[in-house]
Amino acid sequence: MHVQGGENVNTFDIRIFFSNGAAVQAVFEKNSTANDLIHLMIKHLEIDDINDGEEALAIWLVSPLLEIQLKPCQILYKIYQKWPAFLTRFTNAEDHEILLDEPLIVLRRNVLLTLDREIQLTTKYEKLAQVLYFDARDKYLCGKYSVDIESSLELVGLQLAIEFGPCNGNYNKMIDLIYDHLNELAPSSHTKLIKSFRLFGLSLMECRKGLENQVYDEYRVASTHFHNNHARYVQFLKIVGSSPRFFLKFFFNF
């Protein structure tokens, strides 16, 4: 976040990131609240009912050392200015790490959103479904959801259909696609279980009967049973939403 003109100027440039790295750029006043940013993003995402957007989305400050969801009434600039104090209070970071740490403003899922409401709202709004898919996918790949291997295979199949388009039925090409991109589609703990051994770039025969073959089957299901990416986003959210998660910690009075 770049502040224009230092302390004597009342506006600052910001970029609000999505979890896939895309961003929306805006200029805000120093007294702007997190809710002001949410309203901007609700308009950007073409969410008709502002209450739906406020219920589903939240502004986060995110860095390698700490992730904090802002309350709607909190002033972004003040929280940003207090970031080193938050790192001292809530992390075990060394002084030199705190000095270099710089948070990003990220639009994410509101932690108070229930799974039932998430599915209702994402079924209603495709762009909201995409934003929450990016967020859930990022957490899944970082290992913040405890997903069993069978569910992980389904998640990989859904991502393949979303990222690379529907399965075209060419088995050998699709297996190669799965092998080449698996590290981008599943946590490392699962890719080791799914990925087959290759000799001189060629898959050994037994791998055709293994988990890569199951991923291919899930890719076909994601391509035929779910007819567009909107439906695939919602299904992805249903799976991860019903899985235990490791990343939640609530801080009060900050």
Q: What is the CATH number of the domain that holds 64?
A: 3.10.20.90
Kindly state whether residues 109 and 153 are assigned to the same domain: no
Kindly state whether residues 150 and 218 are assigned to the same domain: yes
Q: Look at residues 98, 113, 128 and tell me which one is the last residue of a structural domain.
A: 113
pLDDT confidence of residue 197: 39
In-domain check, residue 122: no
In sequence order, what are the residues at sequence separation of 6 or more whose Cβ sits closer than 8 angstroms to the Cβ of residue 119?
234, 237, 238, 241
Please determine, for residue 37, whether its predicted confidence score (pLDDT) is greater than 90: yes
Q: What average pLDDT does this structure show over 17-44?
A: 95
Per-residue pLDDT band at 119 (split at 50, 70, 90) = very high
pTM higher than 0.85:
yes
Cα(169)–Cα(164) distance, integer angstroms: 13
Kindly state whether residues 234 and 150 are assigned to the same domain: yes
In whole angstroms, what separates CA 49 from the centre of its chain?
23
pLDDT confidence of residue 136: 97
Tally of structural domains, the chain: 2
In-domain check, residue 125: no
Q: In angstroms, what CA-CA distances link 103 with 60, 79, 100?
A: 9, 11, 10
In whole angstroms, what separates CA 112 from the centre of its chain?
16
* Closest C-alpha among 136, 162, 141, 146 to residue 227: 162
In-domain check, residue 64: yes
The CATH number given to whatever domain includes residue 206 is: 1.20.80
Kindly state whether residues 93 and 10 are assigned to the same domain: yes
* Closest C-alpha among 16, 20, 237 to residue 113: 237
Please determine, for residue 31, whether its predicted confidence score (pLDDT) is greater than 70: yes
Name the residue type at position 211: L
pLDDT confidence of residue 43: 97
* Closest C-alpha among 140, 203, 199 to residue 174: 203
In-domain check, residue 194: yes
146-155, 224-233, 234-243: segment of lowest average pLDDT: 146-155
pLDDT confidence of residue 85: 95
In-domain check, residue 66: yes
Q: What residues make up the domain containing 234? A: 141-241
pLDDT confidence of residue 10: 83
Q: What is the pLDDT of residues 45-92, one digit of tens each?
A: 999 999 999 999 999 999 999 999 999 999 999 999 999 999 999 999
In-domain check, residue 121: no
Please determine, for residue 195, whether its predicted confidence score (pLDDT) is greater than 90: no
Q: Which residues pair with 114 in a beta bridge?
A: none
Cα(231)–Cα(15) distance, integer angstroms: 29
